[in-house]
Amino acid sequence: MKNLFTPGNRVAGIDVGSHSVQLVELAGDAGSYELARYARVPLNRGIIDKGVMKDPAGVTDAVKKLFARSKCRQKNVAVALPGHVSMITKATFPAMDENELRDRIIDDAREFFPIDDISNVDFDFFVLGENAINPDMIDVVIGAARKEIIASYRNVIEKAGCKVTIMDIDAFALETAYEENYDFDANNVVVLIHSGASITNITIIRGGASVFTRNISQGGDIVTETIQKKLSVSFDNAEMIKKHVAEGSELTVDDLVGFAEPIIQEIKRSIDYFNTDLGGALVSSVVLSGGNALLAGFRDALSAQLRVDVQLFDPFQRIAVGKKVLSGDARRETAARIPVGMGLALRKTDDK
């Protein structure tokens, strides 16, 4: 989706998550981009809960730290709403011009989303193209979010001295990062899975276009919370144990995989639904990102359940890393966490 919730060159991408905020700035042009600046600042637990700002001032302070640490001078930024607080659907309409389509979407909004008062919601859409069955129809992806949620994300960023020129959705930003780094043909069906601390996003791309999106309200936190209860430790200590299980602890990698099983099963159910009820084609590949992608054993267990090879997202496949931006040790973890922020940084203020 090219212009969500904003009027419509370069921007810094700010990815606001439940555990951290990240800043990504790229240099160069399409085909020769380079990661010029990157910073990540942790957030205290509870500052953002299920996508809702509980401590806006705390998020603003974290954003200020991002700019100080990265030395980024770009004040035009792109921000993404998380799946917790955004809605995405695909619909089919008779072919019509953009203004007519916008009016039609607003008129029919209640058919697509659980909305009581349409005046409290902002919509945007992207036309995928002609419907495969009926050439007189067009397929459209529609995104929506409540105005107060959009305003809350905009406000915490702009109070840090920035201008939000693009408001996107995390699933679309992830897709943008994938398209910049990977080749695909018309027959490819690619599943993008971004599993963070509190949410797991699934986006299925067929022939270069998004055809299915689902958000699962589970992420790495359920593993941490299970460890916390099992070992009677604090949440922070459980996080440390989770990260270092492979090096030896009271738990095993198999334990971690067992704790993550609810997420794995929900991912499998989503892909099975696509393959059956939506007439999906055979999945060509699965690409995994997000902090939870770093969980020991998670990728292998997911691959075994889906019966397809699961790759880790490589956001640096076609985007070089500037000297001194990332150390070798930080590259793997950053590669897992950065795709959404990178997708935002790839946007331009005049995108249509």
pLDDT in tens, 222-276: 999 999 999 999 999 999 999 888 555 678 999 999 999 999 999 999 999 888 8
Residue 8: half-sphere exposure toward Cβ, Cα within 13 Å: 18
Instruction: Give the count of beta carbons closer than 10 Å to the beta carbon of residue 217.
Output: 13
Least confident among 3-12, 157-166, 232-241: 3-12
Specify if 14 maps to a domain: yes
CA 116, CA 195: separation in Å to the nearest integer? 30
Q: Which residue has the higher pLDDT, 23 or 9?
A: 23
The predicted model gives 125-133 an average pLDDT of 85
pLDDT grade for 186, boundaries at 50, 70 and 90: confident
Please tell me the pTM assigned to this model. 0.91
pLDDT grade for 328, boundaries at 50, 70 and 90: confident
Indicate if 260 and 352 belong to the same structural domain: no
pLDDT of residue 29: 85
- Numbers of helices and strands, H then E, in the chain: 12, 16
Indicate if 191 and 335 belong to the same structural domain: no
Indicate if 254 and 204 belong to the same structural domain: yes
Specify if 102 maps to a domain: no
Indicate if 271 and 323 belong to the same structural domain: no
pLDDT of residue 6: 46
Indicate if 161 and 36 belong to the same structural domain: yes
Q: Which residue has the higher pLDDT, 70 or 128?
A: 70
Domain count, the chain: 2
CB 180 within 8 A of CB 24: no
CB 204 within 8 A of CB 211: yes
CA 116, CA 102: separation in Å to the nearest integer? 19
Indicate if 334 and 252 belong to the same structural domain: no
The predicted model gives 202-221 an average pLDDT of 89
The CA radius of gyration of the chain, in Å to the nearest whole number, is 20
The predicted model gives 25-31 an average pLDDT of 89
CATH number of domain containing 16: 3.30.420.40
**Helix (H) / strand (E) containing 310:** strand 310-312
The predicted model gives 104-109 an average pLDDT of 87
Least confident among 61-70, 222-231, 265-274, 327-336: 327-336
Specify if 230 maps to a domain: yes
pLDDT of residue 274: 86
According to DSSP, the residues that pair with 191 across neighbouring strands are: 204, 286
CA atoms 171, 336, 223, 51: torsion sign: negative
pLDDT of residue 7: 42
CA 283, CA 188: separation in Å to the nearest integer? 7
Q: Residue 44 above 50 pLDDT?
A: yes
Indicate if 25 and 61 belong to the same structural domain: yes
Specify if 266 maps to a domain: yes
Specify if 101 maps to a domain: no
Indicate if 246 and 303 belong to the same structural domain: yes
Two structure tokens written together for 329? 């040790």
Specify if 341 maps to a domain: yes
Specify if 264 maps to a domain: yes
Indicate if 161 and 232 belong to the same structural domain: no
The predicted model gives 46-61 an average pLDDT of 96
SS3 185: coil
Phi, psi of 61 (to 5 degrees): -60, -40
Write the DSSP symbol of residue 335. Answer: H
Phi-psi region of 151 (alpha: psi -120 to 50; beta: other; left: phi over 0): alpha
pLDDT of residue 8: 41
Average of per-residue pLDDT values in the chain: 90
The predicted model gives 90-119 an average pLDDT of 88
CA atoms 26, 80, 88, 201: torsion sign: positive
Q: Using alpha carbons only, what angle is made at residue 248 by residues 247 and 252, rounded to the nearest 5 degrees?
A: 110
Map tokens 């593993």 to a residue: 223
Indicate if 40 and 51 belong to the same structural domain: yes
Indicate if 269 and 325 belong to the same structural domain: no
CB 13 within 8 A of CB 27: no
Specify if 128 maps to a domain: no
**Helix (H) / strand (E) containing 12:** strand 12-16
* Owning domain of residue 203: 184-313
Residue 42: half-sphere exposure toward Cβ, Cα within 13 Å: 4
Indicate if 339 and 307 belong to the same structural domain: no
